[in-house]
């Protein structure tokens, strides 16, 4: 194990051990473990947190996107515009809904969907825009909402990395027709297993997601459409309720850690925030033209770093049939060659952060004076 791991979930769980232990006991004592009262309570609390009328718990974040698209009536023959600079789950969910993903380039400063690129990709088959609030930074929702409205498109927000982030004083997930969330353990609001949710103000959309997550049932054993098993279990819901109460507090800690990095780092490009946006720093991502050498140098010092994401979706072998070639999305491809995610988690000590920052400075100075590889 690295002297400084990329992530460590144990400190935050230690802080909440008593509350989480009580939540587990409450579920075990209840005898109801799937789509029970804890799920309903989490749905109510998550909707209230966002100021919307409906939240629907599902099995994971990929299902949240897929079921959201299906609830909107999007499927075979339709196109959904999204980005290649994202976790592959975003694109996987579009295809699982039956639609075709259309991948566009990103804004180089924020790494989120470029509205101009999205506008250029619209065809008569386009049915939705699916921006990703990557790393915890909101996409340009004002521009994308305007674009969607002009063309009569659905607007679906991938909020898997942006719990609590805001755009123009509104929580992400509340600006489009619906927001899709993942509660994967590493997220700012993460469970102890897979879980997800869809939020919306539209009761019809919420009702369809509720039906689709449970085999298309309108009521017990009455199936009105073909759905799937995407049910949320009460144990995850109970644990997430505990952590939801601390989300803003923990996001504030992440913001302080990010600011400490930005104040200290030299020689690398640090994250920026679009005016009016509130970054929640699910990831702290820097850039350097000799990223791989920098990553190796940090590894030699016991600092674990990761890349989110080294190969854009349009260049992944599994998606070669989409028809994209190298050079098709130049900003995305350039960014993928240069980005590096640094350790940032609740419990990262000031001493470790100082060591990481100084190590980056020293490593960059060495790289800047070293000859480029032949």
Residue 290 has pLDDT above 90, yes or no: yes
Phi first, then psi: give them for residue 190, nearest 5 degrees.
Answer: -120, 145
Query: Is 208's pLDDT higher than 60?
Result: yes
Distances (CA, A) of 2 to 76, 305, 306, 342, 374: 46, 10, 12, 13, 30
**Least confident range of 72-86, 93-107, 216-230:** 216-230
Residues with Cβ within 8 Å of 174's Cβ and at least 6 positions away in sequence, in order, are 50, 51, 52, 199, 201
Q: Cα-Cα-Cα-Cα dihedral of 200, 167, 240, 244, to 10°? A: -120
Please state which architecture CATH assigns to domain 247-369. Answer: Alpha-Beta Complex (3.90)
Residue 346's nearest CA partner among 99, 4, 11, 3 is 11
**Cα within 13 Å of Cα(301), Cβ side:** 17
Tens digit of each residue's pLDDT (9 = 90 or more) over 24-68: 999 999 999 999 999 999 999 999 999 999 999 999 999 999 999
Q: Which of 35, 21, 6 is nearest to 237 (CA)?
A: 35
3-state secondary structure 246-260: CHHHHHHHHHHHHHH
Give residue limits of the domains in the chain. Answer: 10-104+113-244, 247-369
Q: What average pLDDT does the segment 276-295 reach?
A: 98
CA 359 to mean position of chain CA atoms: 28
Mean pLDDT, the chain, whole residue set: 97
For residue 203 the two structure tokens come to 């009761």
Question: In CATH, what class is 10-104+113-244?
Answer: alpha beta
Yes or no: say if 172 and 182 are a contact pair by the CB < 8 Å rule: no
pLDDT at residue number 1: 54
Whether the Cβ atoms of residue 177 and residue 202 lie closer than 8 Å to each other: yes
28 Ramachandran zone, left/alpha/beta (phi>0; psi -120 to 50): alpha
Two tokens at 8?
Answer: 């460590």
Model confidence, pTM: 0.97
């Amino acid at each position: 194990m690295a002297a400084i791991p990329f992530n460590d979930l144990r400190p935050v769980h230690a802080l909440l051990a008593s509350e989480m232990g009580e939540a587990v006991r409450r579920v075990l004592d209840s005898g109801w473990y799937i789509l029970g009262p804890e799920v309903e309570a989490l749905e109510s609390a998550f909707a209230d947190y966002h100021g919307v009328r409906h939240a629907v718990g599902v099995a994971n974040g990929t299902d949240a996107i897929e079921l959201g698209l299906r609830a909107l009536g999007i499927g075979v023959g339709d196109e959904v515009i999204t980005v290649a600079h994202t976790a592959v789950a975003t694109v996987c969910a579009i295809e699982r809904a039956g639609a075709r993903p259309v991948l566009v380039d990103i804004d180089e400063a924020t790494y989120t969907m470029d509205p101009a690129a999205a506008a250029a990709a619209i065809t008569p088959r386009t049915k939705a825009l699916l921006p990703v609030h990557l790393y915890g930074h909101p996409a340009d929702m004002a521009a994308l909402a305007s674009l969607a409205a002009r063309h009569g498109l659905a607007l679906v927000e991938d909020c898997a990395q942006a719990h609590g982030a805001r755009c123009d004083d509104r929580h992400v997930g509340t600006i489009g027709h619906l927001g899709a969330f993942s509660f994967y353990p590493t997220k700012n609001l993460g469970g102890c297993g897979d879980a997800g949710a869809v939020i919306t103000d539209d009761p019809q959309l919420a009702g369809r997601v509720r039906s689709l997550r449970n085999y298309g049932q309108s009521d017990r054993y009455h199936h009105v459409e073909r759905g799937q098993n995407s049910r949320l279990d009460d144990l995850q819901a109970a644990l997430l309720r505990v952590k939801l109460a601390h989300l803003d507090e923990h996001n504030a800690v992440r913001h302080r850690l990010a600011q400490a990095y930005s104040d200290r780092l030299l020689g690398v490009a640090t994250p920026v925030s679009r005016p009016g946006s509130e970054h929640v720093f699910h990831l702290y991502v820097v850039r350097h033209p000799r990223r791989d050498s920098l990553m190796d140098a940090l590894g030699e010092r016991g600092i674990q770093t990761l890349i989110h994401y080294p190969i854009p979706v349009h260049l992944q072998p599994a998606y070669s049939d989409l028809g994209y070639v190298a050079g098709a999305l130049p900003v995305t491809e350039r960014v993928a060659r240069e980005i590096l995610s640094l350790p940032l988690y609740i419990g990262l000590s000031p001493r470790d952060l100082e060591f990481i920052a100084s190590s980056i400075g020293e490593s960059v100075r060495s790289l800047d004076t070293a000859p480029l590889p032949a």
